[in-house]
Homo-oligomer: A and B are copies of this chain.
């Protein structure tokens, strides 16, 4: 069974990836929680499917939030702390987050703040949460002015990943997570790129052996990056490849027209376009990325969905932004990216124009 480990400022935590792991979770969690109370937290999708049984097996308290980004709010944070109090959680207690990125984020902030911090275990149920948000300790809620503006670094005690939970994940959500998987291959793992291109059909059919291997590779990349650079002083920024434009596009379209993965697909295409124009990304690498995104049905443009001016204005409002400049992550070869690139505004405008314009987009 693959077990990775992440070294955070607060200690080392394991990431276990195993098909069928969900059935063995009560025993694992009892070991972590000891005699203290546990709160199992899910959302209106995941709680009935996985959370309720787990809470019952553990004799734990439970709480389910409405599914969706709107649960990353002050109101949900306040309610979550109240739930912890009512469940009688003390400083030795554990919150188990079973769900996608929203549940993991909200649970992370709650577990960081309640009594100045209690234990947290992530059981991600979406591909996106498995390969991305459950590892690395970032947790946040949203403000009306932007996503993830209020949060903490809250490393978990453990991350338990069961790829079998993906079996009945809706197709559009699975593909949304695949965008992050493709991103990992582009920024850090040429072999993964080859495997994803060669095994497209098996990936889309969720072949469990392949999926477990791919998830493990992605988690290994993320675990390595966040171990070396927990607080994003440098290298960790490469994980934002495709996200500078992608996040802005999500915001410009009101988080309604595109999934996160679709926006990241467009963002990766724009970043490759920019990289080529800046002389950082070889044209062949950009073409390889286009081939991979196409193979997985991810969009590389969003014609007419937003204006260039608004979307670029939103890239510079990103919270990574400091003192005005928006640094870009660019590919310098297949399977390798570097952060911190200053990009000529005219290059940006042309690339954004190609992605958002009608007709000439590609």
> What residues of chain A have their CB less than 8 Å away from a CB belonging to chain B?
9, 35-36, 74, 78, 81-82, 85, 90-92, 109, 112-117, 138, 140, 143, 145, 149-153, 319-323
Contact = CB atoms under 8 A, between A and B. Distances in A.
Nearest to A77: B74
Contact of A114 (B109, B114, B149): B149
Given A74-B74, A85-B145, A323 B36 contact: yes
A150 B114 contact: yes
A85 B143 contact: yes
Given A9-B9, A74-B74, A74-B78, A85 B149 contact: yes
Given A85-B143, A109-B113, 14 more contacts: A9-B9, A74-B78, A81-B143, A85-B145, A85-B149, A90-B322, A92-B322, A112-B152, A113-B150, A115-B150, A116-B140, A116-B151, A116-B153, A117-B152
B152 A82 contact: no
A251 to B, nearest CB: 15
A287 B138 CA distance: 52
Nearest to A144: B82
A140 B114 CA distance: 10
Contact residues of A: prevailing secondary structure: mixed
Contacts of A153: 116-117
A152 B113 CA distance: 6
Contacts of A90: 319, 321-323
11 contacts: A35-B323, A85-B143, A85-B149, A90-B319, A90-B323, A91-B319, A91-B322, A113-B152, A115-B149, A116-B140, A152-B152
A113 B36 CA distance: 27
A320 B113 contact: no
Nearest to A319: B115
Nearest to A138: B116
A156 to B, nearest CB: 16
B112 A149 contact: no
Q: Considering residues A36, A92, A149, which has the most beta carbons from chain B within 10 angstroms of its beta carbon? A: A149
A35 B138 CA distance: 27
Q: Considering residues A81, A145, A150, which has the most beta carbons from chain B within 10 angstroms of its beta carbon? A: A150
Nearest to A10: B9
Contacts of A78: 74
Nearest to A114: B150
A111 to B, nearest CB: 11
Given A9-B9, A74-B78, A113 B151 contact: yes
A116 B152 contact: yes
Contacts of A150: 81, 113-115
Contact of A91 (B35, B138, B320): B320
A57 to B, nearest CB: 21
A114 B109 CA distance: 12
Contacts of A74: 74, 78
Contact of A36 (B92, B115, B322): B322
Contacts of A109: 113
A83 to B, nearest CB: 12
B81 A149 contact: yes
A143 B74 CA distance: 14
Nearest to A92: B322
